[in-house]
Amino acid sequence: MTGSTLIDTSAAATATALLDIRELTLDLADGTRLLHGITLSVAPGETVGLVGESGSGKSLTARTVLGLTPDRAEIGGSVSVDGRSPLAPATLRSIRRADAAMVFQDPRAGINPMRTIGDHLTEALRLNEGWSRSRARARAAELLADVRLPSPAEHLDQHPHELSGGMLQRVMIAGALTTSPRLLVCDEPTTALDVTTQAEIVQVLRELCAERGMGMLFITHDLNLAGSLCDRLVVMKDGAVVEEGPALDVLRAPQAEYTRRLVAATPRLTGDVAALSDRETATGRRDSALEPQSRRGDGVSRSEGRDVEVSGVSKTYRVRGRGEVHAVADATLRIPTGGALAVVGESGSGKSTLARMIVGLEQVDTGTIRIGGRDAGGVPKGREERLARAKSVQMVFQDPYLSLDPRIPAGRAVADVLRLHAGLDKTAANVRALELLTAVGLGEEHAAARPKTLSGGQRQRVAIARALAIEPDLLVMDEATSALDVSVQAQVLDLVADIRRRQGLTLLFISHDLAVVRRVCEQTLVMRRGEIVERGATAELLTNPQHEYTRLLLDSVPVPV
């Protein structure tokens, strides 16, 4: 049968399923229903993708497999892992020990920063299985080798802060495999990874499923990745399943209107880049809330001659035990006023270090940085100069949780910026803050929420609204959309494009998503090991790459097949 289908609830499907979820409902203590009759299954050796926007119930559904449900929640329906229920206290511990494991989105939140990688990987083997320390360390090294981590034994005595995000995610996968589970639940495990690392980890997961006959429930908002990895897709919206079927059928001939909107909002490396008006039905109406408040509708650029010029910039770090690390070597670039430049490359290529020097968070060793003809490479002198630079240049970081004060609600985080830099009184700042949050897809309830109660994508939207509130001349986005759903990502990028057109905003865009780069930036440069290896017009560079490393990046982009 062509196209997606309803979920198969036959007795045969239930008998062969490794994971079987039937009519699952979840109600909070206040009576709010978050899951509405979820039904899905995963067979041994099968990978099922769970896709949908933030708040659709993907992670909540997946967490029930490990018994990770909200306190005092009322559960209806059934969940079965290899014939046993993780919702029953008598079987939950044994399921976690031997049958199912989970890989979370943020590896740094799942590993104790005070303990070594070896401690993290050997704890379950020593305490639960009674293995000796030496035997457990040998097994840990084997697991790190299984996930293709170079020199695995050398990493056992390192702490999490000494490893990159991609390396830590491999450690998390290795830890999940410690007890050889039959079912692996992955919650956005590659969201923050560059394309080559993502490709390597996806290949590792494929091989592990094939070699071990392991089933996998894979949560992602990247439909291209889902199509390249998963056998079947389950699409969720507002706590309910709206479509299910073979992955390629769902992506090529979606039946539900919601799925069609997700597919339409997904950026691609080929084909036409849709105009803003063509995407409004997929991403929501175009909102004017992010227009420059000081001159909405006048079409006049606020800043002229604000070119960004970087000449011969280098940065070297001295790392204990590793000697000198050349993060950036002799980088030269120029972004004209109102232009958009993308910087792409793997983790450790120097992208973020270059961006931090341009913003002023790192000092250059050699070379110069000038913004609007003024030296921006030195340390600001005095409060006025610091405020002037902050108003001129804003940065949105990859991890919004670390850039938002956990004590301050989202609305106040934006309003405080408006009061400090725009001189608005408390009432006006609060009104404007709510406008900005609404423009990035949040509501009044989110304005009153603290960061810990928001999802990763919601926190990132707060950070973007806060950065744009100042109406900066230069906006630096460091993997700022990697954690967003495709529809929210499209909405945010459209808003950034709109404010670029209206106020002449200059954009430095760091991303591992080459399809997003194609949509956002006119120019692109490629970095590898601190050096710029290729640069040019984005369309030309992505269709006719000259450097072998650029070709490797393009070959690593997931493509549904």
pLDDT the model gives residue 561: 65
Identify the residue whose tokens are 């006959």: 213
**Could you tell me if 437 and 443 are in contact, meaning their C-beta atoms sit under 8 angstroms apart?**
yes
For the cut 90, the answer to whether the pLDDT of residue 9 exceeds it is no
Structure tokens belonging to residue 419: 């009061």
pLDDT the model gives residue 354: 93
Residue partners of 428: CB distance under 8 A and separation at least 6? 418
In Å, how far are 181, 192, 460, 478 from 341, measured between CA atoms?
A: 44, 20, 21, 12
Confidence band, pLDDT 50/70/90 cuts, at residue 470: confident
pLDDT the model gives residue 5: 45
Percent above pLDDT 90 for the chain: 43
pLDDT the model gives residue 12: 39
pLDDT the model gives residue 440: 81
Higher pLDDT, 288 or 398: 398
pLDDT the model gives residue 546: 94
Confidence band, pLDDT 50/70/90 cuts, at residue 178: confident
Structure tokens belonging to residue 304: 């002229």
Burial class, 405, CB count within 10 angstroms (exposed 0-12 / middle 13-18 / buried 19+)? exposed
Give the angle 422-425-429 at the CA atoms, nearest 5°: 65
Residue partners of 552: CB distance under 8 A and separation at least 6? 196
> How far, in Å, CA of 326 to CA of 500, rounded?
33
> How far, in Å, CA of 221 to CA of 272, rounded?
22
How much is the average pLDDT of 302-311?
74
499 residue type, one letter = I
> How far, in Å, CA of 437 to CA of 456, rounded?
15
For the cut 70, the answer to whether the pLDDT of residue 26 exceeds it is yes
How much is the average pLDDT of 43-68?
91
> How far, in Å, CA of 286 to CA of 488, rounded?
12
Percent above pLDDT 70 for the chain: 88
Q: Which of 157-166, 437-446, 480-489 has the highest mean pLDDT?
A: 437-446
> How far, in Å, CA of 182 to CA of 530, rounded?
41
Kindly report, residue by residue over 386-424, the tens digit of the pLDDT.
777 777 888 988 777 778 899 999 999 999 999 988 889
Residue partners of 306: CB distance under 8 A and separation at least 6? 337, 371, 372, 392, 473, 474, 504, 506
> How far, in Å, CA of 6 to CA of 39, rounded?
10
> How far, in Å, CA of 462 to CA of 455, rounded?
11
How much is the average pLDDT of 128-139?
91
For the cut 90, the answer to whether the pLDDT of residue 156 exceeds it is yes
Least confident of 75-84, 270-279, 353-362: 270-279
Kindly report, residue by residue over 212-263, the tens digit of the pLDDT.
889 999 998 888 889 989 999 999 999 999 999 999 999 999 999 999 999 9
In Å, how far are 48, 149, 183, 253 from 197, measured between CA atoms?
A: 21, 11, 23, 30
Scanning 335-485, the segments in alpha helix (DSSP H) are 351-359, 382-392, 400-403, 410-417, 426-439, 444-447, 456-469
Burial class, 347, CB count within 10 angstroms (exposed 0-12 / middle 13-18 / buried 19+)? middle
Structure tokens belonging to residue 151: 């020199």
Sign of CA dihedral 479, 485, 490, 495: negative
Confidence band, pLDDT 50/70/90 cuts, at residue 154: confident
- Averaged pLDDT score across all residues of the chain: 84
202 residue type, one letter = V
Identify the residue whose tokens are 């072998």: 548
Identify the residue whose tokens are 């039937």: 22
Confidence band, pLDDT 50/70/90 cuts, at residue 203: confident
Count of other CB atoms within 10 angstroms of residue 2 = 9
For the cut 70, the answer to whether the pLDDT of residue 273 exceeds it is no
Kindly report, residue by residue over 326-371, the tens digit of the pLDDT.
889 999 999 999 999 999 988 778 898 999 899 888 889 999 999 8
Contacts by 63-69, CB closer than 8 A, 24 or more apart: 63/102, 64/21, 64/24, 64/26, 65/19, 65/21, 65/100, 65/102, 65/183, 65/185, 65/217, 66/95, 66/96, 66/100, 66/101, 66/102, 66/185, 67/92, 67/95, 67/96, 68/102, 69/26
Delineate the domains of the chain, giving CATH numbers in brackets.
11-265 (3.40.50.300), 293-555 (3.40.50.300)
> How far, in Å, CA of 338 to CA of 503, rounded?
8
